[in-house]
Homo-oligomer: A and B are copies of this chain.
Amino acid sequence: MNYYKGKNVNIGNDVKIGFGVIIEDDVTIENNVIIDSYTKICNNVYIKKNTYIGSNCIIGEIGINYHTNHQRKKTIIGEKSLIRSYTVIYSENILGDFFETGHRVTIRERSNIACNVRIGTLCDIQGDCEIGEYTRLHSNVHIGKLSNIGKYVWIFPYVILTNDPTPPSDNLKGVTVEDYSVIATGSTILPGITIATNAFVGANTLVSKNVLKGTVVVGNPQVNIGSIEKLNKNGINTYPWMYSFDKGMPWQGIEFDMWMKNNKNN
């Protein structure tokens, strides 16, 4: 296949590079990577082994500044990642191993995304964010700048994390979402809010007050309807979800409590 290759490009063994791919200068691609057609790998990108990057992606984007900006840090894509077509990942992002995106994901500059994170189709991560391991964002989630999202968090379609208390302004305050929390479809989280550990935000909620640990909020205006266990029906212990769902989680096949005991820092 024909593709374009710049200077100082290091390509490992068993790498497959599709038709029309552009690889700019100072790029490293480890072993057994696949890069599909018409994708562009920009300057100073490092792609770890066993990763697949779909068609028409841009990895390490710097846009208009690319002729002048030479000081920026590396962009790193973790190993065994799966990046679907039309995704744009800006420069200076550090993405952990087993990273996965849907189609048309946009990730702006300077975010740290831990291992085993999935970000769904059409998500828009505005940059300067932290996302903890095993967190899942479903389709079309908007994460404002300065958001801080913990580990094992689930965010469902069309959720918006805002960041400007007095729009328009430059006094941004990011949202904090702590570990194990769930935010259901269509909810909007106002600037500076903290959603504490193991909380649940119902569908279409406008979250204007902090959400306490292990509680459920719904509605607009927001109402606290009690502890997470109140969501359980017919005597089935669905919540906290970690006890009823383990697919792809590190406690898969063992009990959550057992896994917790063995992993002090979770």
Q: Judge if A85 is at the interface, Cβ distance under 8 Å.
A: yes
- Docked CA distance A55–B55 (Å): 13
Q: Judge if A63 is at the interface, Cβ distance under 8 Å.
A: yes
Q: Mark A110-129, 1 if CB is under 8 A from B, else 0.
A: 00000000000110101000
B142/A157 in contact, CB under 8 A = yes
B157/A182 in contact, CB under 8 A = no
Given known contacts A22-B19, A55-B58, A64-B82, A168 and B185 CB-to-CB distance under 8 angstroms: no
Q: Judge if A20 is at the interface, Cβ distance under 8 Å.
A: yes
Q: Judge if A259 is at the interface, Cβ distance under 8 Å.
A: no
Checking B54, B121, B167 against A154 with a beta-carbon cut-off of 8 angstroms, the contacting residue is B167
Please report which residues of chain A, range 181-213, place their CB below 8 angstroms from some CB of chain B when the two chains form the complex. 182, 184-186, 188, 190, 203-204, 206
**Closest chain B residue to A66, Cβ basis:** B36
Q: Judge if A224 is at the interface, Cβ distance under 8 Å.
A: no
Q: Judge if A44 is at the interface, Cβ distance under 8 Å.
A: no
B156/A245 in contact, CB under 8 A = no
Q: Judge if A47 is at the interface, Cβ distance under 8 Å.
A: no
B-chain residues with CB within 8 Å of residue A157 when the two chains form the complex? 142, 160, 162
**Closest chain B residue to A158, Cβ basis:** B160
Interface of A is mostly: loop
- Docked CA distance A168–B160 (Å): 18
Q: Judge if A266 is at the interface, Cβ distance under 8 Å.
A: no
**Closest chain B residue to A16, Cβ basis:** B67
Please report which residues of chain A, range 214-244, place their CB below 8 angstroms from some CB of chain B when the two chains form the complex. 219-220, 231, 238-239, 241, 244
B140/A203 in contact, CB under 8 A = no
Q: Mark A80-91, 1 if CB is under 8 A from B, else 0.
A: 001011101000
Checking B22, B154, B206 against A168 with a beta-carbon cut-off of 8 angstroms, the contacting residue is B154
A245/B185 in contact, CB under 8 A = no
A203/B185 in contact, CB under 8 A = no
A162/B122 in contact, CB under 8 A = no
Given known contacts A19-B22, A82-B64, A140-B124, A244 and B169 CB-to-CB distance under 8 angstroms: yes
Checking B84, B124, B190 against A121 with a beta-carbon cut-off of 8 angstroms, the contacting residue is B124
**Closest chain B residue to A42, Cβ basis:** B55
Q: Judge if A75 is at the interface, Cβ distance under 8 Å.
A: no
Given known contacts A40-B55, A139-B142, A220-B204, A170 and B22 CB-to-CB distance under 8 angstroms: no
Return 13 A-B CB contacts under 8 Å, by A number: A34-B64, A52-B64, A85-B88, A106-B122, A121-B124, A122-B122, A136-B168, A140-B142, A154-B167, A166-B231, A166-B238, A166-B244, A204-B220
